[in-house]
């Protein structure tokens, strides 16, 4: 495993030697909750606090591990506040008044924190649990099964059941399993029977679903009363390449959760860029990963979904992810045929840039294959 990048080790050690308040981000997920539980096991006097509720997976994990998570953080804290799984202070507001903050996160963007904040930020990691797994032994603390199990569940959840895992994700999982984190228990820890309210919400969201085709990609959007992330995942499971699920409350706050298929991610789609651009326009906040991102702002859910649908980032995703040549040039060769290389150049009237003459097509040039003209074959 690679070492944890971050602040001066002495400064970090001094900060963590104080009384710790572990903050879970808004709607805390399995990665955030799992990291907080593991750090509380490493520092037994630490307290865990949510900032705006827990996700269904976060609630199930805390209940099954019998860990108490406070509903709200105190207004002030005479120690160190440790924020896990977000590098945007808006996603864990309101922060308690304090003079020492440590942030541990793996998301792509980092927000502005108070001066003196110690930031452990590793965007290459697929989960914050991977960073915490490396951090704990580096602090001279032995990984125990009580730490390893929630961390393994966090890795499992944030990598999409290892579908988006990196080589380091598997190395971390091996370390956690060797430390007593039983893989099957980690998976069971996240299993839950969905309540009828949630299943009803999913079905209503499916009724309101709208989809369009952008090139070869299917974009699906819908409105829901809650469970935005689960709704977005459901739309991808139904066949969407990109899914956006929005909810709004009576105070005008809109929340959008997005998910993308593995094929869309591999082609270069970045949902953090999509929702980040929307957040910039709407004075909101956004964050996440290329294949899973969230957004919050004031406004109308339908109007914001319409703006997101107009994002031009889907067309051409199958082209090169990186452009290595910016200058242009003329192409004067003919058609390439397997085993015969390039045919002679076509004749052009009036020199370069002219329209082709009616010169006969070479017998060696291939004729179009009608079977490849069907959508999706190219």
Q: What is the DSSP string of 281-315?
A: HHT-EEEEETTEEEEEEES-HHHHHHHHHT-TTST
Alpha-carbon distance of 230 to 202, in angstroms, equals 8
Report the DSSP pairing between strands 336-337 and 341-342.
antiparallel
Domain boundaries, the chain: 9-190, 196-309
Please tell me what DSSP assigns to residue 328.
-
Q: Count CA atoms closer than 13 A to 34's CA, side-chain side.
A: 30
Percentage of the chain with pLDDT > 90?
Answer: 52
Residue 205, classed as helix, strand or coil, is helix
> What's the pLDDT at 277?
87
Kindly indicate the confidence band of residue 43, based on its pLDDT and cuts at 50, 70 and 90. very high
Alpha-carbon distance of 355 to 85, in angstroms, equals 58
Kindly indicate the confidence band of residue 52, based on its pLDDT and cuts at 50, 70 and 90. confident
> What's the pLDDT at 88?
85
Angstrom CA distances, 349 to 100, 333, 354, 356, 360, stand at: 74, 15, 5, 6, 14
For residue range 75-116, what is the model confidence (pLDDT) as tens digits? 999 999 999 999 888 888 889 999 999 999 998 776 788 999
Enter the pTM of the model: 0.61
Alpha-carbon distance of 363 to 369, in angstroms, equals 15
- Is the pLDDT at 355 greater than 50? The verdict is no
> What's the pLDDT at 30?
93
Kindly indicate the confidence band of residue 367, based on its pLDDT and cuts at 50, 70 and 90. very low
Token pair belonging to 253: 């706050």
> What's the pLDDT at 353?
42
> What's the pLDDT at 334?
58
300-320 burial, b if ≥16 CB within 10 A, otherwise e?
ebeebbeebbebebbeebeee
The answer to whether domain 196-309 has CATH 3.40.109.10 is no
CATH topology of domain 9-190: inorganic pyrophosphatase (n-terminal core) (3.90.1640)
- Is the pLDDT at 345 greater than 70? The verdict is no
Alpha-carbon distance of 108 to 88, in angstroms, equals 10
Alpha-carbon distance of 90 to 284, in angstroms, equals 10
For residue range 171-216, what is the model confidence (pLDDT) as tens digits? 999 999 999 999 999 998 887 657 778 888 999 999 999 998 877 8
């Amino acid at each position: 495993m690679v070492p944890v990048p971050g602040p001066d080790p002495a400064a970090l050690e001094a900060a963590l030697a104080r009384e710790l308040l572990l903050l879970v981000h808004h709607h805390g997920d399995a990665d955030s909750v799992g990291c907080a539980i593991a750090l509380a096991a490493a520092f037994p006097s630490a307290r865990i606090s949510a900032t705006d509720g827990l996700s269904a997976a976060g609630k199930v994990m805390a209940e099954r591990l019998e860990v108490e998570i406070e509903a709200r953080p105190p207004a002030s804290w005479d120690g160190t506040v440790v924020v896990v799984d977000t590098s945007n202070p808006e996603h864990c507001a309101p922060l308690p008044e304090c003079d020492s903050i440590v942030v541990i996160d793996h998301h792509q963007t980092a927000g502005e924190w108070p001066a003196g904040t110690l930031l452990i930020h590793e965007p290459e990691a697929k989960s914050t649990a991977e960073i915490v797994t490396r951090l704990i032994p580096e602090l001279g603390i032995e990984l125990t099964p009580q730490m390893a199990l929630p961390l393994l569940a966090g890795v499992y959840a944030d990598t999409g059941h290892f579908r988006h895992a990196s080589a380091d994700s598997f190395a971390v999982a091996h370390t956690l399993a060797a430390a007593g984190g039983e893989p099957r228990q980690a998976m069971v820890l996240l299993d839950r029977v969905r309540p009828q309210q949630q299943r009803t919400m999913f079905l209503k969201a499916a009724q309101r679903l709208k989809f369009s085709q952008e090139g070869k990609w299917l974009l699906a959007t819908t409105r829901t009363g809650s469970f935005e992330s689960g709704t977005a995942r459901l739309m991808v499971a139904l066949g969407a390449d990109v899914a956006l699920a929005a909810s709004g409350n009576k105070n005008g706050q809109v929340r959008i959760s997005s998910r993308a298929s593995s094929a869309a991610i591999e082609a270069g789609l970045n949902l953090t860029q999509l929702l980040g651009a929307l957040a910039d326009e709407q004075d909101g906040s956004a964050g996440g990963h290329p294949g899973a991102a969230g957004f919050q702002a004031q406004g109308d859910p339908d109007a914001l979904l319409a703006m997101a649908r107009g994002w031009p980032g889907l067309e051409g995703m199958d082209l090169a992810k990186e452009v290595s040549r910016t200058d242009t040039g003329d192409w004067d060769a003919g058609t390439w045929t397997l085993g015969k290389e390039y045919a002679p150049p076509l004749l052009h009237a009036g020199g370069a840039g002219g329209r082709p003459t009616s010169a006969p097509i070479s017998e060696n040039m291939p004729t179009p294959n009608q079977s490849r003209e069907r959508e999706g074959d190219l």
